[in-house]
């Protein structure tokens, strides 16, 4: 992200790089139509023996027997900010959240892209630090007000919920102080927080399957760190928080199925910068009717399938645990967009209101992109 950092220093580039959190850059390319997306999913960044079988066509997202106490959301950067939005707005549905390099709820406020860049993440300063101005007080006031109005679920639902936070000490895109604010916010509402903030990591999602060294900044923003001389596994940490003792990770050929699913039936369209297809991983046991858990996993900017293929889906390290611990994982996907549609050239999830140029309710249940994402959750879990 050095090249991104230099570009971010240009004022004219500010809007173009909003939400670089969790971004990827370069990498495998695929068109955004349904057939090409399925092909991109098949183009795995790891040997076929290490990944699930991939459907050759586009499937309709199905309902599964999901335990309502095991419904979670996770995300990196723009997906991390959006994961916080989903968790807070739908805290009666989601029972925990894992947030990598995200920030406080409604961090961008009503100020749009420029405010989001300056305050929350995506703007790298000449000092190689991410721009940051605390919006914690405004965030909590807005959260309290919307909770009282009923535009989001009651904030009291957050009490006691497990929350995992990751912030690399070398992150140049989302300032570690922003994640410290998020830690404070969740603690204020009584969440049970585990904060990994001592790893010398650059901006990215941490996983044993990440292709980049811990302190490396670059595409696809999937990093691999170590602790006490062994490869660290942040996904194991938060899944243990959420589920308790885990069955061993499947490091071989997965028994579950990875498929491309149709997002358009839920309202995905270029108008809200969402691709026609996303990805879903279904363990064999879940497909056969066993009661399972659920994870909604949100990538960062520039990690969309049309840019990096399925490296987000296969390097996140979630499927390997999901396969043996009976978790259905849905990976929604975005697309880059520009005028006359939303100004979102880096395919970020919407955490500052770009949808339909400009969605003032972007962080509420009624938010345009939020509604699409939640409709997917409703389908899989059977929630009304």
Cβ 246 vs Cβ 239: under 8 Å: yes
- Give the per-residue pLDDT at 86: 99
Residue labelled with tokens 């500010």: 14
Task: Report the pLDDT averaged over residues 66-88.
Answer: 98
Question: Is 171 designated active site?
Answer: yes
- Give the per-residue pLDDT at 10: 26
Distance of CA 131 to the CA centre of its chain: 21
**Is the peptide bond between 340 and the residue preceding it cis, with omega within 30 degrees of 0?**
yes
- Between CA 163 and CA 186 the distance in angstroms is 8
DSSP state of 249: P
Any idea how long the chain is? 384
Across the chain, mean pLDDT equals 88
CA angle, residues 1, 30, 37, in degrees to nearest 5: 120
Which is more confident, 147 or 34? 147
What pLDDT, in 10s, does the model give residues 40-49? 333 323 333 3
Cβ-proximal residues to 49 (8 Å cutoff; 6+ apart), any chain = 252, 253
Q: Give backbone dihedrals phi and psi of 70, rounded to 5 degrees, phi first.
A: -125, 50
- Between CA 255 and CA 48 the distance in angstroms is 12
Q: What percent of the chain has pLDDT over 70?
A: 85
Q: What percent of the chain has pLDDT over 90?
A: 82
What pLDDT, in 10s, does the model give residues 103-137? 999 999 997 889 999 999 999 999 999 999 999 99
Q: What region does 98 belong to: left with phi over 0, alpha with psi -120 to 50, or beta?
A: beta
- Between CA 69 and CA 181 the distance in angstroms is 27
Q: Give backbone dihedrals phi and psi of 63, rounded to 5 degrees, phi first.
A: -90, 140
What pLDDT, in 10s, does the model give residues 1-12? 332 332 222 222
Closest CA to 73 of 106, 99, 108: 99
Catalytic, out of 171, 196, 209, 350: 171
Going by pLDDT thresholds of 50, 70 and 90, the confidence category of residue 23 is: very low
Cβ 328 vs Cβ 283: under 8 Å: yes
- Give the per-residue pLDDT at 339: 84
- Give the per-residue pLDDT at 285: 98
Q: Indicate whether 245 pLDDT > 70.
A: yes
Closest CA to 362 of 123, 189, 146: 146
Task: Report the pLDDT averaged over residues 59-76.
Answer: 98
What pLDDT, in 10s, does the model give residues 194-227? 999 999 999 999 999 999 999 999 999 999 999 9
pTM to 2 decimals?
A: 0.88
3 state DSSP class of 316: coil
| Share in percent of the chain as helix, strand, coil (round to 5) | 35, 20, 45
- Give the per-residue pLDDT at 322: 98
Catalytic, out of 77, 275, 276, 355: 77
- Give the per-residue pLDDT at 340: 84
Q: Indicate whether 185 pLDDT > 80.
A: yes
Question: Is 288 designated active site?
Answer: no
Q: Indicate whether 26 pLDDT > 50.
A: no
Catalytic, out of 87, 90, 203, 299: 203
- Between CA 50 and CA 226 the distance in angstroms is 21
Report the relative pairing of strands 277-282 and 292-298 from DSSP bridges: unpaired
Residue labelled with tokens 């879903």: 280
Q: How many CA atoms lie within 13 A of 265 on its CB side?
A: 12
Residue labelled with tokens 């912030």: 167
Burial of residue 268 (CB within 10 Å: 0-12, 13-18, 19+) is buried
- Between CA 106 and CA 143 the distance in angstroms is 8
Question: Is 194 designated active site?
Answer: no
Q: What is the 3-state secondary structure (H, E, C) of 79-139?
A: HHHHHHHHHHHCCCCCCCEEEECCCCCCCCCCCHHHHHHHHCCCCECCCCCECCCCCHHHH
- Between CA 180 and CA 134 the distance in angstroms is 10
Report the relative pairing of strands 230-231 and 226-227 from DSSP bridges: antiparallel
What pLDDT, in 10s, does the model give residues 277-318? 999 999 999 999 999 999 999 999 999 999 999 999 999 999
What pLDDT, in 10s, does the model give residues 190-201? 999 999 999 999
- Give the per-residue pLDDT at 356: 80
Distance of CA 193 to the CA centre of its chain: 18
- Give the per-residue pLDDT at 30: 30
Residue labelled with tokens 């990994």: 196
């Amino acid at each position: 992200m050095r090249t991104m950092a230099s570009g971010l220093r240009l004022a004219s580039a500010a809007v173009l790089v909003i939400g670089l959190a969790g971004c990827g850059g370069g990498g495998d390319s695929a068109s955004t139509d349904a057939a090409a997306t399925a092909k991109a999913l098949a183009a795995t960044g790891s040997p076929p023996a290490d990944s699930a079988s991939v459907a050759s066509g586009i499937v309709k997202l199905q309902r599964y027997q999901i335990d309502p106490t095991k419904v979670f959301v996770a995300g990196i950067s723009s997906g991390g900010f959006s994961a916080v939005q989903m968790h807070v707005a739908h805290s009666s549905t989601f029972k925990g959240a894992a947030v990598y390099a995200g920030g406080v709820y409604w961090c961008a406020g009503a100020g749009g892209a420029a405010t989001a860049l300056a305050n929350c993440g995506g703007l790298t300063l000449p000092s190689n630090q991410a721009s940051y101005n605390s919006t914690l007080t405004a965030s909590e006031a807005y959260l309290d007000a919307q909770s009282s109005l009923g535009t989001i679920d009651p904030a009291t639902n957050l009490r006691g919920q497990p929350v995992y936070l990751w912030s690399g000490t070398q992150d140049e895109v989302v300032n570690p102080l922003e994640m410290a604010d998020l830690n404070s916010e969740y603690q204020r509402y009584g969440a049970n927080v585990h904060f990994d903030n001592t790893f010398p990591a650059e901006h990215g999602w941490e996983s044993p399957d990440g292709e980049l060294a811990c302190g490396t900044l670059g595409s696809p923003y999937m990093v691999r760190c170590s602790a006490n001389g062994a490869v660290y596994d942040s996904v194991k940490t938060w899944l243990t928080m959420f589920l308790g003792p885990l069955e061993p990770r499947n490091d071989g050929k997965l028994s579950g199925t990875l498929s491309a699913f149709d997002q358009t039936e839920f309202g995905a369209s270029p108008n809200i910068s969402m691709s026609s297809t996303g990805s879903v991983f279904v363990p064999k046991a879940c497909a056969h009717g066993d009661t399972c858990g659920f994870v909604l996993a949100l990538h960062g900017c520039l990690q969309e399938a049309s840019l990096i293929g399925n490296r987000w889906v296969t390097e996140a390290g979630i499927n390997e645990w999901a396969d043996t611990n009976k978790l259905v994982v849905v990976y929604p996907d975005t697309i880059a967009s520009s005028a006359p549609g939303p100004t979102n050239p880096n395919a970020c999830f919407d955490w500052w209101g770009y949808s339909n140029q400009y969605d003032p309710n972007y962080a509420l249940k009624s938010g345009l992109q939020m509604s699409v994402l939640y409709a997917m959750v409703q389908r899989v879990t059977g929630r009304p």
